Amino acid sequence: MPEAAAFEKEGLGPVDLREARSRVARNARTTPLLESESLSERCGHRVAFKCENLQTGGAFKMRGATNFISRLEPAARERGVITYSSGNHGIAVAHAARRAGVRSVVVMPRTAPAVKVDRVRALGAEVHLAGTTSLDRKERAEALQKERALAMVPPFDHPWIIAGQSSCGVEILEQMPDVGTVLVPVGGGGLISGVALACAYHRAGIRVIGIEPEGAAKMSSSLRAGGPVTLPSVASIADGLLPSRPGDLTFAVTRSFVAEVVTVTDDAIREAAVFLLSHEHLLVEWSGAVGVAGLLSGVVKTFDAPTAVVLSGGNADPAVLLGLGRA
Is residue 326, in this structure, part of any structural domain at all?
Answer: no
User: Same structural domain for residues 165 and 275?
Assistant: yes
Which residue among 104, 167, 287, 312 is the active-site one? 312
Q: What is the pLDDT of residue 325?
A: 47
Going by pLDDT thresholds of 50, 70 and 90, the confidence category of residue 126 is: very high
Q: Is the pLDDT at 108 greater than 90, yes or no?
A: yes
> 104-108 and 126-129 as β-strands: parallel, antiparallel, unpaired?
parallel
Going by pLDDT thresholds of 50, 70 and 90, the confidence category of residue 47 is: very high
Please tell me whether the overall predicted TM-score, pTM, comes out greater than 0.85 for this model: yes
What average pLDDT does the chain have?
93
Which residue among 36, 50, 61, 221 is the active-site one? 61
User: Same structural domain for residues 55 and 122?
Assistant: no
Task: Kindly report, residue by residue over 143-195, the tens digit of the pLDDT.
Answer: 999 999 999 999 999 999 999 999 999 999 999 999 999 999 999 999 999 99
| More confidently predicted of 2 and 97 | 97
Is 312 a known active-site residue? Answer: yes
Is 233 a known active-site residue? Answer: no
* Distance from the first to the final alpha carbon of the chain: 45
Q: Which of 87, 120, 152 corresponds to the end of one domain?
A: 152
Q: What's the domain range around 109?
A: 61-152
Q: Which of 152, 178, 199 corresponds to the end of one domain?
A: 152
Q: How many domains does the chain have?
A: 2
Alpha-carbon span 90 to 103, nearest angstrom: 13
Q: Is the pLDDT at 134 greater than 90, yes or no?
A: no
Residue 217 belongs to domain with CATH number: 3.40.50.1100
Q: What is the pLDDT of residue 86?
A: 83
Q: Which of 152, 169, 194 corresponds to the end of one domain?
A: 152
Alpha-carbon span 63 to 137, nearest angstrom: 22
Q: Is the pLDDT at 321 greater than 70, yes or no?
A: no
Task: Kindly report, residue by residue over 222-243, the tens digit of the pLDDT.
Answer: 999 999 999 999 999 998 999 9
Is residue 35, in this structure, part of any structural domain at all?
Answer: yes
Is residue 218, in this structure, part of any structural domain at all?
Answer: yes
> For residue 54, what is the DSSP state?
G
The mean per-residue pLDDT over the stretch 50-64 comes to: 96
- CA proximity to 300, closest of 179, 172, 177, 181: 181
